[in-house]
Amino acid sequence: MRGMYIHIPFCHQICHYCDFNKVFFKNQPVDEYIESMGQELAIMRQEGISFKEVETVFLGGGTPTSLSEKQLERLLEIIHEYVDVSSLKEFSTEANPDELTFGKLIVLKDGGVDRLSIGVQSFDADLLTKIGRTHGPDDAARVVGEARKAGFDNISIDLIYGLPGQTIAQWQDTLDKALALDLPHYSGYSLIVEPKTVFYNLMNKGKLPLPGEDMETEMFTMLIEQMERKGRKRYEISNFAIPGHESIHNLIYWENATYAGVGAGAHGYVDGTRYSNIGPIAKYMEKTALGERPVQQTHVVTAIEAMEEEMFLGLRKSNGVSISLFQEKFGRSLEEVYGETLHSLIKDGLVERLDDAVKLTHRGVYRGNDVFQQFLK
């Protein structure tokens, strides 16, 4: 097992685009939930699941920084009980700019966290309000400065384009202000309207003025070109970094490797089985209190499914899918399994074969979903 994802489902404010498992922080059993995650880890270890080889830990949500300093300290204590934090290649947490106080930064740093992923999304005050964010444009610069003061140098921010009513000028301003922070890593995602979100309900009522496909494509082009000009190489469709600062934890996902998912609604991939935990917090806690894994669904991944995942996850990376590693993992050649599909995609100019890799072409990056679909039988 290479990674561990820990889910904190609490938020002080629910963003209008978010479909992750989350609840409002107020009146929730936060302290008890943290202890339940410790119980889940203990049960996993009792079942023979080893955390000795874990390379990364990622705190996600929800909002991990919605926790108080004392709650963060307890969470980190529990993680230290099961993971040798000193040997990790990366220990990350997601954070909101207006919740990440200097005191919390010190707690995180002392607890071994060495990478911050900050949900900035936009530097436009009106857009931030429209999408349900509670921070302002100046909060991002402030928190980055405080994080550096606390000793963090591996910092990333998330940005979103294709927002309701967003203009090219607003996106350019956000890119300018983001790049002015001179961070080693940036993520830039197009808005996806998911079911069970505020935006989904507005869209169904015809009240969500989204930019058209052409404008969204232009925004994506701006993102790629301006990141490249500033030396942030695109190593995955939506992620850019100074070489050596790529997200190791996310690469575990894209390399189709194994990881544990801990917490309510968390997903994991262990010993050839993908699983998802119970989502409702009370039911999750009831299960762990009984000394049982809080797993809701499991799926044993077949050989065919594993090869499909290897392709559509691996092709997200700029270095693509390794031909020799595919042969080593599955005992079959890439040509044998996907030769016809690859020849068609190469002919269409969407995929190319270079040395030991198959990867998306520049044109293929813009039509990634169409390419990935070709490997789902």
pLDDT value at residue 15? 81
- Angle at which helix 69-82 crosses helix 30-46, to 10 degrees, equals 0
| 77-95 mean pLDDT | 97
Tokens of 200: 């989904």
The answer to whether 213 and 367 are in contact (CB under 8 A) is no
Confidence of residue 24 (pLDDT cuts 50, 70, 90): confident
The answer to whether 16 and 134 are in contact (CB under 8 A) is no
pLDDT, the chain, mean: 95
Domain limits of the chain? Answer: 3-254, 320-373
| Per-residue pLDDT tens over the stretch 306-315 | 999 999 999 9
Residue 239 predicted with pLDDT over 80: yes
Share of the chain above pLDDT 90, in %: 89
| 229-256 mean pLDDT | 97
pTM here? 0.95
Confidence of residue 193 (pLDDT cuts 50, 70, 90): confident
Residue 25 predicted with pLDDT over 90: no
Residue 155 predicted with pLDDT over 90: yes
Contacts of 102 (CB under 8 A, 6+ apart): 146, 149, 150
Confidence of residue 18 (pLDDT cuts 50, 70, 90): confident
Q: Give CA–CA dist 284/243, Å, rounded.
A: 40
pLDDT value at residue 362? 96
Share of the chain above pLDDT 70, in %: 100
Q: Specify whether domain 3-254 bears CATH 3.80.30.20.
A: yes
| Per-residue pLDDT tens over the stretch 115-147 | 999 999 999 999 999 999 889 999 999 999 999
pLDDT value at residue 183? 98
Q: Give CA–CA dist 302/272, Å, rounded.
A: 8
Query: E strands within the chain?
Result: 3-8, 10-11, 23-24, 56-61, 90-95, 115-121, 154-161, 185-190, 233-236, 239-241, 259-262, 267-270, 273-277, 295-300, 321-322, 351-354, 357-360
Q: Give CA–CA dist 302/306, Å, rounded.
A: 6
Q: Give CA–CA dist 140/121, Å, rounded.
A: 10
| CA-based max dimension of the chain | 58
Q: Give CA–CA dist 260/253, Å, rounded.
A: 11
